[in-house]
């Protein structure tokens, strides 16, 4: 793959990759850091990409997820000073967002950070619970219990919002 094609694919997928990083890390600054780290690594290893442009999205997402996991591991059990703030407007409500999808994301973003990490790795990075357990170095029981609490919380949040009507 030539460099221009690589750059074009990067631009095409940058928004999605940023949102994946944001969902995992929960912080705009961390997500932006992880995305830049991932881009540097991907560029250096671009010749290892096999399968052409079709393989790029999954390949690039794996690199982004790994960078995010590096951040999470280095801050295991840490609570950043501003962690309880909602995601910054690096990802504001965009006209292209479906209302339903936006509602789900906002519910996810309000989860406890450790629950949100697991939800993001499970439903965005498509990792199995065993992979999550391994990457986050957590017992599988802990992964399951956090996912359980996250889903229970989401049920309550999304049900309440459904009764109130769609979010603005």
Partner 1 sequence: MNPEHVFPEEAERLRRSLPRWAEAGRLPPERSAQLADLARRTMATPGTTSRSSHPRQSHPPRWRVTAAATAVAVAVLVGMASLIPRGGAWAEAATDWLSRYVNLHARSDPGWAWARQHTAFQEVLAADRDQDYTFRVHRVLADPTQTIVIYSLAGPEPLAGDAVPALAKVEFNGRPLTTPRVLRSGVIDGVQVGHLELRPLPTAEGTLRITLDHIGAVAGRWQVSFPVTRVPLAQWARTIPVEKTLDLPGVPLQVTEVRLTPTATTISVRYSGAGPPPELGHGPGGAVRLLTAAGDEVPYQGSSRETRQDEKQAPVHTWQLRFGPVPAGTERVTLRVEGLARPVPGSRLVLALTPGAVATAGGQPAVQVAGVQENRAVLQWQQPVEMPYRDWWVLDQHGDAYRAQAGWEVVSGVTRRTVRWNGAWAPLPQGRRAVRLEAREVWEQVSGAWEVAISLESPGRSRSS
Q: Which of 50, 54, 82, 165 binds partner 1 (CB under 8 A)?
A: 82
Asked whether position 98 contacts partner 1 by CB under 8 A, the answer is: yes
Q: Number of residues interacting with partner 1: please give it, by CB under 8 A.
A: 77
Asked whether position 85 contacts partner 1 by CB under 8 A, the answer is: no
Among 111, 124, 121, residue whose Cα is nearest residue 150: 111
64: Cβ contacts below 8 Å, ≥ 6 apart? 17, 20, 21, 34, 35, 38
Asked whether position 45 contacts partner 1 by CB under 8 A, the answer is: yes
Asked whether position 112 contacts partner 1 by CB under 8 A, the answer is: no
Cβ closest to partner 1, residue 51 vs residue 149: 149
Asked whether position 128 contacts partner 1 by CB under 8 A, the answer is: yes
Among 108, 70, 67, 114, residue whose Cα is nearest residue 86: 108
Closest approach, Cβ 78 to partner 1, in A, equals 5
Asked whether position 155 contacts partner 1 by CB under 8 A, the answer is: yes
Asked whether position 129 contacts partner 1 by CB under 8 A, the answer is: yes
Q: Which of residues 62-81 bind partner 1 (CB under 8 A)?
A: 63, 66, 69-71, 73-81
Kindly give the residue spans of alpha helices, DSSP state H, lying in the chain: 3-25, 28-44, 56-74, 99-109, 113-123, 129-135, 140-164
Neighbours of 36 (CB within 10 A): 12
Neighbours of 2 (CB within 10 A): 7
Asked whether position 1 contacts partner 1 by CB under 8 A, the answer is: no
């Amino acid at each position: 793959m030539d460099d221009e094609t690589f750059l074009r694919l990067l631009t095409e997928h940058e928004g999605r990759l940023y949102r994946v990083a944001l969902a995992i890390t929960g912080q705009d600054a961390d997500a932006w850091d992880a995305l830049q780290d991932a881009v540097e690594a991907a560029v250096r290893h671009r010749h290892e990409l096999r399968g052409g442009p079709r393989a790029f999205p999954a390949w690039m997402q794996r690199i982004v997820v790994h960078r995010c996991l590096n951040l999470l591991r280095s801050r295991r059990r840490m609570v950043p000073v501003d962690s309880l703030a909602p995601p910054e407007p690096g990802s504001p409500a965009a006209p292209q967002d479906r209302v339903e999808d936006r509602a789900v994301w906002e519910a996810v973003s309000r989860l406890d950070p450790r629950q949100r990490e697991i939800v993001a790795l499970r439903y965005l990075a498509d990792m199995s619970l065993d992979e999550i357990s391994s990457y986050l170095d957590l017992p599988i029981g802990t992964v399951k219990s956090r996912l359980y609490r996250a889903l229970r919380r989401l049920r309550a949040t999304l049900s309440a919002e459904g009764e109130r009507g769609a979010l603005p």
